A and B are shown apart, each in its own frame.
Chain A
């Protein structure tokens, strides 16, 4: 084993695990803020190491074989980590998100003896392992570690709603794990290998094989459940909304996107050789992605509980990311990866603001908070900026990702996906801007349909100074706005091609410049309608109200919070994916 840069690969996973084990062994001995400090240090080291790995991987993917088991005679004997530049940068982004979250959560949890930090570090290690691995079963193991850590973190508040949310989350994601395991078993039996490359070459050699399609169906379902795509999205709103704010930052900022990242990797690398799968992907991903984008945006507008609203907006953006994957090109996948980072930064900032509201104003209900934001002006500015960035204001990483995605879809003339993405972004932006106006400016005295939405009395610990909570939020927004666009534009085409194991392509033109402005206009119009409802002429209001009521009621009924409903929809979703695969 030479000591090149690939020797760094195990470290971003091993270091958080070591910190985790040490903190657990000395759980009751650790004084006050030491767990916070240790956790922040661990996350910082992960971010730095992943960045170094990403820089080295720009020349070519780095590969590392655990246990010294290199492949022999074409049989992959051990587990490998294969990191290309894109995976490295996503891992670095996750590390940075965790550092800022730990700072945000400083002092949040008093009596934990560091248990919160233990679970979060484990979550971090699992995410990095998920990004780096090139072994199917190892992917599953990190998927399950992520899930278990998330289950434990969701119910932290121990309120009744937190417990139901955690149960829904646990059951649905466990079913996802079982489906993934079934898929892995099938593909292993058919190809005889568990390594990405090993499976890919065997799949490429075989012809049209129902077992390969079945395996893809199960694995894709599992990853789409994690990525909260319709009809598997129900758990996200429940779980997300009731988890503590620092945990919600990670869920929306990284966990959901990782499900789609995994789907991108698996469909581009492992199942690249299966024509049946590749023909089914555009229809499947764009169809489900478009429905998800619109449904998420619509439901976001109907919420009054801020975290639930933000959860639905994450669902909408997950749909947009999925449509980008459906383009099946390095341009689309590259755009999706940039979008993951941009969306994570902005959504993380928004959840931190929600946490600030919970801590300083003791409520998370938009209508109850009306006008109460006046004392925390900086948070209002941050929220306005974040809302505008979310709907497509043309600055920053998220916008760059949006334009790359729209460019890829435009070139393939996928008008439905483009329209759905623009509408979804507009609707989610409208929801956030409406909430900003109501909370910080006191506008919008007359609630519309959101008045009937589910909500709950909540508060969070108010013992931290505002700047501790607002600082990381502003850093996230600064990253989004400030990362140099040219760097990203130069690196993306090559990074995306390396990610998909395809030959390098040159940069494709971005989408039309006017398309993001449509989302912004829709967002401002939607927010305006929500806030100034009383002042608009009856002529405008009556038709809008009529179109809204019935579908709104239907959608709200569907999101019942009952685990039995979710299980039924899961079955329907699997059947849907299987039928699309069968006809292509």
Chain B
């Protein structure tokens, strides 16, 4: 039992990252992909907080307890705070890109999104659809 509890948080972190990566590799919906990226990020939270934990310690806030009481690692907590902000920013940007992709092409499927289409031979490139007319259904 103690062997398991020694390694469980780290094993969970590895599993979460793997699951998230699997989700990204097989995703058919951009919003699902953003969620999977969030799962990959949770792996880092679990890893960092697990590395900073100590049994029998209080939170690193010496308001109710006198300074000198064993506390968990505050540096890891500060790191995770930064990580959370990073996660929020990435999610926001990706969702914005998703909205724009949906407006542009009507589809949320990553398999249907290729940055550029291959040409046939030397003819002039076909235009991408731009300036299309108004009433599209949007989210």
Contacts and interface: CB of A to CB of B under 8 A. Distances in A.
B113 A561 contact: yes
Given A175-B40, A177-B86, A457-B127, A170 B94 contact: yes
A98 interface: no
A199 interface: no
A185 B44 contact: yes
Contacts, number: 159
Interface in A134-165: 137, 141, 144, 148, 151-152, 155, 158-161, 163-165
B114 A562 contact: yes
Contact of A178 (B40, B94, B126): B40
A564 B111 contact: yes
A396 to B, nearest CB: 33
A182 B26 CA distance: 23
Interface residues of B, number: 52
A170 B113 contact: no
Nearest to A445: B122
B121 to A, nearest CB: 5
Interface string A181-204: 110111011000010000000000
B94 to A, nearest CB: 6
Interface string A352-396: 000000000000010110000000000000000000000000000
Nearest to B30: A167
Contacts of B111: 562, 564
A564 B27 contact: yes
A168 interface: yes
Contacts of A368: 124-125
Given A160-B104, A564-B111, A452 B118 contact: yes
A163 B125 contact: no
A152 B17 CA distance: 25
A63 B78 CA distance: 24
A144 B124 CA distance: 39
Nearest to B51: A189
B89 A148 contact: yes
A529 B113 CA distance: 34
A159 to B, nearest CB: 6
Give the secondary structure class of A's interface.
helix
A544 interface: no
A241 B44 contact: no
Of B24, B43, B79, chain A has the most CB atoms within 10 Å of the CB of B24
A582 B104 CA distance: 47
B115 A241 contact: yes
B119 A451 contact: yes
A450 B129 CA distance: 23
Given A185-B51, A304-B119, A563-B24, A171 B94 contact: yes
A164 B86 contact: no
Contact of B117 (A178, A451, A454): A454
B58 interface: no
B130 A181 contact: no
A25 B17 CA distance: 38
B25 interface: yes
Contacts of B119: 304, 451-455
Q: Which 8 A-B pairs have the closest CB atoms?
A: A454-B116, A561-B114, A189-B51, A567-B25, A457-B127, A164-B113, A238-B115, A567-B24
22 contacts: A141-B82, A148-B90, A152-B93, A159-B128, A160-B129, A161-B116, A163-B113, A164-B115, A167-B94, A167-B113, A174-B40, A181-B48, A182-B13, A182-B17, A454-B119, A456-B116, A457-B128, A562-B110, A562-B114, A564-B111, A567-B24, A571-B21
